[in-house]
Structure 1
């Protein structure tokens, strides 16, 4: 079994790629279905089986059952919504959607959680219990997608 630091280093380029894709394609609260679809597609390609559910069209929940026996449930969460702002950064991965951008890090939160999913899938046999990954929509508004 590889040390966790090696697994993290190996997934880093993918995390950057995922973050840039999400940054280029931002969606405001309650319109995140394309982001949720992207996340669900990536989760379906992870190196261990996940129980993937869409509780709403704009959110994704996935459970990883550990291979080391029964135990507690752990939860990790990322928010996916963007803000109604015009991006003027000039970066090659700038928002392709006028008037919408990821200005407070939700693109990075989502990409990093995907990275954590991949690493933990590779460590599945060392996990006791279940890890739940929650990709939440509509974090920036009230009522929020946490309901």
Structure 2
């Protein structure tokens, strides 16, 4: 449970006409979990703002396993599955669980860091490498150097 970065209750506004969690709410929960994780290791939004860097996603894949309904408690685990040291591209896997431990969804995102002034991809500052080392890694984690 050291990879849990979000816990919460499913709200009325997050339910779709089929009476289960709407697809975009999964992305919202996972984005909040990533933000909580980055903040927890010391990379707050203020740090990103100082360096004029922001994350950008290229791909987001959602695999449903079990329905989640109104008022259920959920939690989200986050782990880094791939990181390219040379160009700071990354992949995260999020596992969304019901309070009883039932896995409800897997969400995978691929992205990189964006220089907000130049609007181009950018490597992270060298002094951030110790932050990256603190991110929980998956068992199948792959680090790429080129």
Taking structure 1 as the reference length, the TM-score comes to 0.28
Q: Which has the higher strand share?
A: 2
Q: Which has the higher helix share?
A: 1
**Higher relative contact order, structure no. (Cα contacts within 8 Å, ≥ 6 residues apart):** 1
